[in-house]
Amino acid sequence: MTSTEINPTEHNPTAAGSGRNATAAFAAKERASGPVDHARVSAIATDAIAALHEVVRRHQVTYAEYDALKAWLISVGETGEWPLFLDVWVEHVVEEVANADRKGAVGTIEGPYYIPGAPEFASEATLPMREDEKGTPLLFQGTVTDLDGKPVDGALVELWHADDDGYYSQFAPGIPEWNLRGQIRVGADGHFAFHTIQPAPYQIPTDGSCGKLIAAAGWHPWRPAHLHLKVSAPGKQLVTTQLYFDGGEWVDNDVAQAVKPELILRPTPAASGEGNEVTYDFALDPA
């Protein structure tokens, strides 16, 4: 290891480390597959390539810039950062198209750090966390209903989020496997309650390919602090979403453009006297 390389610890995970894990998580994901629709592949690929041609002409892209692009694209794969790149700069439009007709709970992007199969609890849970987990305690609760407001018995609420340093378990070294990840199977009243801590804003790793692009363009690498959720039930549309904190840093300037006004939490001091609490309900569209 040279002196310029980062020693991966809990406090400075590497882009390549989290990228490798995100690429592996994506490879393991159950993905819809079907027969190839050749007409659609041709139409989309033709337009995507033509869009690139248009950019080259509009900006009179040089050979030096073309070679820089080639080198950068190669490096994105080498550092495993395709999931990060795509989810930060592309996914929000795919989500917008996919959920345009939804009437219930508002969705947003999933991002690269979801892992299925987190520890499951009934109704009320304390998320798995370290004995000395840093951060302001948060009681996050709500009810899952259908579009008529009727509780959905047996709905599943999955919650995952970063810690007080902005790091996700399984994507940064030194954090227990299921830290700050869990799921609640609600009962007949549709109610869930998670005891957790408030996450910190997330910074795109500065030592990888995405960080290189951000630095070269003079952008910022931040996402506002957020909770990730998937809420699902038989016969209902699964909603994948995120919730943000009113007044939090970067809420108005998310690098991933995934904030929506319906997704802002306004926590208040908890009745228990410990930290904050907030209620957020999910209405599920029929499948």
Q: How far apart are CA 237 and CA 102, in angstroms?
A: 9
> Within its chain, how far is the Cα of 55 from the centroid?
29
For the beta carbon of residue 132, count every other beta carbon within 10 angstroms: 5
The one among 15, 16, 84, 239 contacting ligand MBD by CB under 6 A: 84
Residues from 112 through 131 that contact ligand MBD (CB under 6 A): 112-113
Number of residues that bind Fe ion (CB under 5 A): 1
- Which amino acid appears at position 95 of this protein? E
* C-alpha separations of 72 from 23, 59, 75, 85, 253 in Å: 17, 18, 5, 12, 25
Q: Which one, 146 or 254, has the nearer CB to Fe ion?
A: 254
Q: Which is nearer to Fe ion, 180 or 213 (CB)?
A: 180
Instruction: Write each residue from 212 to 251 as x if it is in contact with ligand MBD (CB under 6 A), else as -, in one continuous string.
Output: -----------x----------------------------
Query: In this complex, which beta carbon is closest to ligand MBD, that of residue 88 or of residue 214?
Result: 88
Q: Which of residues 197-216 bind Fe ion (CB under 5 A)?
A: none
Reading the block at residue 190, the tokens are 């549709």
CB 180 within 8 A of CB 163: yes
Judged by beta carbon, residue 161 or residue 191, the one nearer ligand MBD is 161
Q: Does residue 256 interact with ligand MBD by CB under 6 A?
A: yes
Does 111 engage in binding with Fe ion (CB under 5 A)?
yes
How many Å apart are CA 106 and CA 125, to the nearest integer? 24
Span interacting with ligand MBD, options 6-14, 57-65, 82-90, 267-275, rule CB under 6 A: 82-90
Using rule CB under 6 A, residue 109 touches ligand MBD: yes
Instruction: Provide the mask over 42-81, with x wherever binding to Fe ion is found by CB under 5 A and - wherever it is not.
Output: ----------------------------------------
Which secondary structure element, helix H or strand E, spans residue 65, and what is its range?
helix 63-78
Main-chain phi, psi angles of 83, to 5 degrees = -60, -45
Residues 1-20 within binding reach of ligand MBD (CB under 6 A): none
CA-atom Rg of the chain in angstroms: 20
Q: Within positions 19 to 78, which residues make up the interface with ligand MBD, using CB under 6 A?
A: none
Task: Find which of ligand MBD, Fe ion, none residue 88 binds, CB within 5 to 8 Å per kind.
Answer: ligand MBD
Give the integer Cα–Cα distance in Å for 132 and 186.
28
Q: Are strands 137-146 and 282-284 parallel, antiparallel or unpaired?
A: parallel
**Minimum CB distance to ligand MBD, residue 107 (Å):** 12
Q: Which residues pair with 196 in a beta bridge?
A: 138
Phi, psi at residue 214, to the nearest 5°? -60, -45
Residue 227 site contact among ligand MBD, Fe ion, none (CB < 5 to 8 Å, cut-off depends on kind):
none
Instruction: Tell me the pairing of strands 226-232 and 222-223.
Output: unpaired
Chain contacts with ligand MBD (rule: CB under 6 A): 84, 87-88, 109, 111-113, 202, 223, 256, 258
